Amino acid sequence: MRVVLDCNVLVSAGRTDGTCRKAVTKSIRQHEIVVSQQILFEYMNVIDRNRSYPFFSILKTLYRDIENLAIVVEPANLKFGLRDSSDEVYLATATAGDAILITGNKNDFTEPRYGQVVVWSPRKFLDETE
C-alpha cells in the first residue's frame, strides 16, 4: 500500500512511542511512502523548529528513513477546498502517488475521502493493515 504521512503524524511519532510511531514505523517497514518536495520541506522545517527538544533525534531519524525510502512525486494540480490551504499538498501528493493519506488532523480533513484519496487516522491505518 502507498501512504502519505501528514506532518502531524510524523511529529507525534517523534514525541511519543504510541499509535503514530507505530503507524510511521509500519509505513517505513511494510508499505511505500509517497512524498513531494513540498512535504519533505515541511517535515524538515518542523523538525528544525524543534531542534532543542528531547525528541529531535528520533524525528531526524524518522525523516532520514522516509527521505531514503520514499517515492517522490510531483503533486497533482488539484484543489480540494480544505479550510487550511497549506494542507492541500498532502491530498495532491496522495492523488499523484495513488496513495492513502494518514493524518490526525480531523479539523481540516473532515471527509473520509477526497476524490480518489482515502483518509485514515493512524489508528485506522494500523487496524486496517493488520
Q: What pLDDT, in 10s, does the model give residues 118-129? A: 999 999 999 999
pLDDT 10s digits, 57-108: 899 999 999 999 999 999 999 999 998 899 999 999 999 999 999 999 999 9
pLDDT 10s digits, 12-34: 999 999 999 999 999 999 999 99
Query: Is residue 92 a contact partner of residue 108, using CB atoms and an 8 Å limit?
Result: no
Sign of the torsion formed by the C-alpha atoms of 43, 93, 120 and 66? negative
Query: Is residue 31 a contact partner of residue 3, using CB atoms and an 8 Å limit?
Result: yes
User: How is the chain split into domains, by residue range?
Assistant: 2-128
Structural fold of domain 2-128:
Rossmann fold (3.40.50)
How would residue 53 be classed by pLDDT, with cut points 50, 70 and 90? confident
